[in-house]
Structure 1
């Protein structure tokens, strides 16, 4: 009798464990919040502890070992492969990257600005499309990401086209004219803290950094969203907006990008 009772408990625990794992798999597959939580706050922390290095360093290692030096496309492919197959990361990614490519080609900028460098993926993506006389300024507040991004950009052979400015956008934007000799910006890619999209856009306006025809492209408008930014540009006679539905980088979760052309 006791043996039957023990067997029943063990079977129940086993079935319960299987059901729990199935439920967890479904949740992670269909819920972007849960998926990011699992990847960023569970798996990444465990891997960092075991390997004694950050995810960003592992991305750099993959690029260093596998990408062709001086080949920007090879660098992008390497990062996309790593982040889609091994560890999720918050790059703009390959799908939305095609939208970014399209808008950069449309803007054909001489001077471009990126808010949020991270590992340098989108900086490489933008800089590889710039004409010989053009330059990209990229602002990154996290001091740990800056050297990694610089090395990845150098591997791509684009170090002469990109200047990374370390610090907070709200501190650097007011200095762009006086300290970095920026007159106006032809293209701005917003991919930093979502609650900073609107206030930093307003700073760009206040400091006269936007000209008629300047193009702003904002990532993650669908997830996690930037409602204050959308409210500012869509309800503003000085902007003409276009919405681009897509998916969150390396996931099936819905996301979107928003293009806002400054009309002056």
Structure 2
């Protein structure tokens, strides 16, 4: 109570400073909010997104899973890519027509599902996630979307470690070369 009484005389000064330096103050507030969300999201976001998608989507339908992700992202803070970025990624995948894709940074599995639904039936996605819990929940979302383990592989390691051991995860077959057709880095370096 005493803190509120002590802060009332400062209110006009705070309002004057905030109106005079509105852009700088809003930028500072935006950065503080982004920092707080990054701090909270890593521990809470993955479980809440997983629970929401798992309980609200139509199992076995990748498009339903993606729509449910978008619904969640529209009402909650999340690291899922924006609809514009998602469309751009889809366009690149359609143009390149890859059969082997490496995704660095799986998070909740949103981009993994987007990629898998555009790959050919014999296509394969290798996705990398550093956090074991996030990797497990993301893998479950991919399976709920209707994809099989033969279509994807989740590597639980840092991107740098995964790249060093990548050759052991690429199985050459008769239809494709032993390399990758597309690499997507879905996290900050």
Shorter chain as denominator, the TM-score bin is 0.7 to 0.9
Confirm or deny that 1:146 pairs with 2:135.
yes
Q: In the aligned structure 1, how far is the partner of 2:16 from the partner of 2:65? A: 40
What is the aligned partner in structure 2 of residue 62 from structure 1?
52
What is the aligned partner in structure 2 of residue 77 from structure 1?
67
- Aligned to 2:98, what secondary structure does the other structure show? coil
What is the aligned partner in structure 2 of residue 186 from structure 1?
181
Comparing 10-19 with 61-70, greater Cα deviation is found at 10-19
More helix by share: 2
Confirm or deny that 1:37 pairs with 2:35.
yes
Q: Please state how far the C-alpha of 1:158 moved relative to its aligned partner.
A: 1.8
Structure 1, gaps ≥5 residues long: 1-7, 195-264
1:80-137 deviation line (CA, Å, top 9, x unaligned)? 2212212x22222322000000001111111111011111110001001111111100
Q: In the aligned structure 1, how far is the partner of 2:99 from the partner of 2:165? A: 19
- Does the Cα contact within 8 Å between 2:170 and 2:179 map onto a contact in 1? no
Paired residues, number = 176
- Aligned to 1:89, what secondary structure does the other structure show? coil
What is the aligned partner in structure 1 of residue 175 from structure 2?
none
Structure 2, gaps ≥5 residues long: 173-177
Comparing 178-187 with 161-170, greater Cα deviation is found at 178-187
Q: Normalised by the size of structure 2, how large is the TM-score?
A: 0.78
1:207-252 deviation line (CA, Å, top 9, x unaligned)? xxxxxxxxxxxxxxxxxxxxxxxxxxxxxxxxxxxxxxxxxxxxxx
RMSD between aligned residues = 3.1
Q: In the aligned structure 1, how far is the partner of 2:29 from the partner of 2:86? A: 22
More strand by share: 1
Q: In the aligned structure 1, how far is the partner of 2:136 from the partner of 2:16? A: 44
Q: Which runs of 4+ in 1 moved over 3 A?
A: 8-23, 28-31
What is the aligned partner in structure 1 of residue 121 from structure 2?
132
- Does the Cα contact within 8 Å between 1:150 and 1:159 map onto a contact in 2? no
Q: In the aligned structure 2, how far is the partner of 1:149 from the partner of 1:10? A: 47
- Aligned to 1:133, what secondary structure does the other structure show? coil
- Aligned to 2:154, what secondary structure does the other structure show? strand
- Does the Cα contact within 8 Å between 1:104 and 1:129 map onto a contact in 2? yes
Higher relative contact order (CA 8 A, sep 6+): 2
